[in-house]
Every structure is written in structure tokens, then in C-alpha cells.
Structure 1
């Protein structure tokens, strides 16, 4: 049986490299390529791949949101995250969204091939670089997994970030939380500093990659 793979990544050169690598694998074929999360959902609906190789950090609909949508639409489609993001929040968000595997982009062809076959057969596969962390979460119990993203943030800062990730302006956040706009601006500034970002869009991108700002308000 041939494993049908959809490659999702916004970088053309990386897509080309992955396509070439997968085409050289025995029993695996690339049936399509998508440039972002929305494109991935559309193509998965039309192509019905066995496995989606999913980048996480993409413009528009990110890989976490796309994974959640794909799994909801067809649980038979396995998602294998293939990303540069190696922080606990991104790993947790992808797995909670329904990804069956998580690899870093530095993975070799043999590791990617094993992971594709593994998730296609219904298994859970994580790369060598993160396997120890995932084992630790499960061995310590579910409460040990990083369900709370960005632990350096206060509860209020995380709440503000989550609302910003939903697209709310500072004024709208202030009204929703019964705060002054100045207080919201201060919280946003603190979030920028703690996340190491300089713009709201960068903070929102990190938040959504970690699973904040998804679902209903």
C-alpha cells in the first residue's frame, strides 16, 4: 500500500526539498503541496491524503489551527508536524490539536520516512530531540504537560495575549476585561518583552502557534 502525503509549508525551497526527499522513499508518494493552513484544509478535502506533513509557523491560518480543522474533518488523516519550533508550548499545542507526530526540520530523510510510515499506521511518533520531554510529561501524569503556554507571563498578561490573538484591539480588550486602555497597553508591552518580540503581529503569531486565540471567545 502506498502512503499518500500532502506537504504543507510556506517556503517554496523547503517544499521542493521535502517533495524530492519523499519521492525517493519507497511506498510513499506526494499527492499535493499547500502553502498555508487554509490551502492545506482545502487540498486535504480534495485529495484525501493518508498523512499531512505540516509546518506550524505560517502566515494566515497556522499549522496548529489547520491540524485541528483537518482532524475534525477527517480523523483518518494523520498529521505529522515538521517544523523549526522546538519549544514546549508549540509541541503541546500541536499534539493537543491532534497531530500524530512531531519532527524538527533538522530531521534526516530516514527519520522522516519512519515517522510518515509510523503515523500512517496509526502510531504516535516524535523526533529524537523532543522524545525525552514528551516521555517526561506522560510519565509524570497529564498535569505535567505544558498545558499553560508561556509560563513567564502572568495570568492577566496571558489573558490579554489570548484576546489579542483573537483579533481584539487594546480598546476592545479593555472593555472586555473592565480595564483601562493604559493598563492593557502596559500588559501588551510586558508580553512583548517576555516573548522577545517587537510587534503585535509577532506576539500574535507566537500565541496562535502555542494554541492561544483559537476557538470561540
Structure 2
């Protein structure tokens, strides 16, 4: 008899928490279903639309991120779509939106940039009805030398704050290494950084991120041969 009681007790320990969890899940589902119908398209506003990477090069896959303001007092779930003219280029389904600002990351998209500029809009599917969402400004990707960018900040200017050489002084034929401190007053970019003596390449680092503000770069060792009495470097 005691053995059967023990089996029943152990079974209850597994079954009751599962039932409780299922009830909690149902409550959340009912909550969002109930609130979903109370969000209206006019309650929503796109504050920011970003792409990653930015700039994006030809053939690269891209991820969109949207910041949406929900001006209502209600929470709910909606499906969001990013469009280029009439083409849906990325979609995020069943997204929970709470009152206030919400940041939504869209799945990676194989969308290919081809024109000189691409202007994007955002639509919300609420109760199976698609409606465009008002935007705080126009979100257009412009083509630059580095790719397409949604950033409205300029590229550069870039300043070399420091340039150091190790060892200093260096003897002819000795391996040397450079360090620079770069200041970027524009938006974050990615590119190659080269140190040159006139037209001669002395050292370089490739495909590095140059964020806004100050960044230090250590260059690989180089066997640059000093031949003149004075050598002036450019970056």
C-alpha cells in the first residue's frame, strides 16, 4: 500500500507542474490575443530603420532592425513587413509590441541592392489586414563607394592623432612596427588602413572596423628600408 502511495505521489510531482505551466501559457496566449485587436495601425510609428552591415556590399545578406513606437496603452502581437515599393523584402511574424518603444530584429534577408537608392516602408498585419505604418522620416539607402548605407551621417572626416614606430630609432634592415591612433568624426565604417612613404606601401591592415571616435591600430612587422635622411609617412 505504501508503495502505491509513493508512486502516486511521484506522479503528482511531475503532472501538477506541467498542468500549471500549460495554464500559464494559455493565460499569456489569451492575453496577447485579447490585446492584439486593441492595437490600431494609427497607434504605431516607425522611429528608426537600420541595416546590418551598414554599409552593405553587393551580394551581402542583410539584417533589418526597426524601432517602433506603440502609442496605445495596449500590448499585442502583429506581423511586420519591410517593403521596397511593392516588394516584401523581409518579414517578422507574431511580434509582441508593448506600449512605448519596441526594437524588432528581422530575420536575415537575401535581398539584393541594385539601384542608386532604395526607399523602405513598413507594414503591419493586424487582424489579417495589412496597413502601412507612419514613419518619423524617409528611410532610403544610398549607394556610396563602400556600398549602400541607411546612415544619414557622413563618412569621415578621419584624423591621424598619433603615429609611432617601434623600435625608435630603428637601424637599417631592422624589423619595425607601426601604431596609429585614428579619430573618426563620421559614422562607423569598414576599410583598409595603409601607411605609405610617397607611393610606396610601408604597412597595412585590411578590412578593419573604424567606429566613431578614437581607435588604435597595431600594424604587422615590416622590413621597410630607410634610404633617405628624412622619411615622411601618410595614412
TM-score category (smaller protein): under 0.3
Report the structure number with the largest CA radius of gyration: 2
Counting helix residues as a fraction of each chain, which structure ranks higher? 1
